[in-house]
Structure 1
Amino acid sequence: MTLEILLQDTWQTTMIFITLLIFTRILDKSQVGQLTFYEYVSGITIGSLAGTIAATDPDKLWSSYYDLVLFVVLTYLVSVCTIKSRPFRKLIEGSPSIIIEDGRIIKENMRPLRFDLDELNAMLRGKDIVDISEVQYAILETTGEMSIIKKSAFQPLTKSDMNIHLPNPTLPIEIIMDGEIIEKNLAKQNLSHEWLEKQLVQQNIKSASQVMYGVIDSKGQLFISAKGSKLD
């Protein structure tokens, strides 16, 4: 391999890598489990096109790159249309299907999905359900996940059922990460450095630099995890 070919391959691969980072941010799906079948196929196609471009001949680079950009633009436009139009969204992504209602399997809803009883039982076991009679509704979502609503008699007892009222939890607030104080979060909670230092002293910690993770948890308590001896 000559130096010229090596530089060309490096340039093409780097360009595709940066392009995919940008396109992934634009299309913005945080978890694979959230993808519908259409989005999953689109993602595979984009990856395939990107791989082809990275290995294509230099004289075909920009033609292939245009194909990738065009496909991403079309995918983005379809996603915008699915947000704005419910009928179009149902056409592209499909609709959730009720598989079980009041403990009864609805086979007529399973046939169009090519969904069989073995798959149904496997998904129910994944939700810790052995007896179908416990299920009020089982809904197959467009992502392929199954949502389960149990009958009232089989739902766990909650504190509200026992007339026990507790304050609602709050989101944890990170105060220290990797030895660095997050000033913005500290100020947002109206807390001072003096308060934080006092809390650290109570846990035999001399400074924030010795803390790997410090957070005000959902109950409003400060949780501190000090760095290990190897990290000090």
Structure 2
Amino acid sequence: MLLIFVQAAVSFVILLILTRLIGKQQVSQLTYYEYINGITFGSIAANMATDSFDKFGDHLVGLLTYGALTFMAALVALKSRKMRKLINGEPVVVIQDGKILENNLRKMKLNLDEFTMLLRLKDIFDFTQVKLAIIEPSGGLSVIKKSEYENVERRDLKLKLEGTALAVEVVQEGKISVNNLNRLGLDEKWLRAQLKMRQIVDVAEVEYAVVTDNKRLLVDLKNDAITDTVTLIDKL
């Protein structure tokens, strides 16, 4: 029992020293690489604390080696943009001028349900109001609204205060949600007529579509006509 206590105390001190040397960030700002590193450190330290004493040295060498490699990688990343991009990843544009960039979402392994959740967490319920949306290396979402939709205090403009209802999804990846249309008192005929007004013949062309509380249809196509996609990091 005493031996385990000593091993745990030693592993705790070593882990504390290593994490102080490597540096610290808020959990919400960690990249996936840093997150996995943290899990690995914790796993090695846990084995070091609870395993038999004859394996203590092996775990210690493993922990120190992993710590040294991580420290060196962090130093290299500080001095080299190419290595920083390789280790931490890069920000990726996922909405540009109110249009969802589906290929970039797929690169980030994000589906539409996860992406719309991230938008809602940013108080964005109408993706067409977004000038630019960026998935950061930490996995967080940064959003710039179009200038006409920038937040203004309604009381400053002496406007009538009204509640905002959640937009209802009616098409995802070319498939119509008949149940959601029925909940809104609408039908597939209405939807196809709305799409036809936008010169969309086949619903399979639609990646994502929602209906707002005032029965306005917002549509994002699978193949948006964006010829000049924004790049946040220059090619190295």
8 Å contact 1:97–1:109 — kept in the other structure? yes
Deviations 1:26-47 (A, max 9, x none): 1222311111011111110000
3-state SS of paired residue (2:94): strand
Match of residue 79, structure 2, among 75, 78, 84: 84
Find the counterpart in structure 2 of residue 149 from structure 1. Answer: 144
Q: How many angstroms apart in 1 are the aligned matches of 2:3 and 2:38?
A: 26
Residue correspondence of structure 1 range 53-68 to structure 2 within 5 A: 53-68=48-63
8 Å contact 1:99–1:109 — kept in the other structure? yes
Find the counterpart in structure 1 of residue 182 from structure 2. Answer: none
Q: How many angstroms apart in 1 are the aligned matches of 2:89 and 2:19?
A: 23
Give the root-mean-square deviation of aligned CA atoms: 1.5
Q: How many angstroms apart in 2 are the aligned matches of 1:13 and 1:118?
A: 43
Tell me, yes or no, if structure 1 residue 99 matches structure 2 residue 89: no
8 Å contact 1:29–1:35 — kept in the other structure? no
Q: Offset at 1:152?
A: 0.4
Tell me, yes or no, if structure 1 residue 72 matches structure 2 residue 55: no
Q: Offset at 1:17?
A: 1.1
Find the counterpart in structure 1 of residue 121 from structure 2. Answer: 126
Q: How many angstroms apart in 2 are the aligned matches of 1:51 and 1:120?
A: 35
Deviations 1:182-230 (A, max 9, x none): xxxxxxxxxxxxxxxxxxxxxxxxxxxxxxxxxxxxxxxxxxxxxxxxx
Q: How many angstroms apart in 2 are the aligned matches of 1:63 and 1:50?
A: 11
Q: How many angstroms apart in 2 are the aligned matches of 1:18 and 1:105?
A: 48
Q: How many angstroms apart in 2 are the aligned matches of 1:77 and 1:18?
A: 21
Q: How many angstroms apart in 2 are the aligned matches of 1:135 and 1:49?
A: 44
Q: How many angstroms apart in 2 are the aligned matches of 1:121 and 1:43?
A: 29
Gaps of 5+ in 2: 154-236
Q: How many residues align?
A: 154
3-state SS of paired residue (2:107): coil
Name the larger-Rg structure.
1
3-state SS of paired residue (1:95): coil
Q: How many angstroms apart in 1 are the aligned matches of 2:103 and 2:4?
A: 53
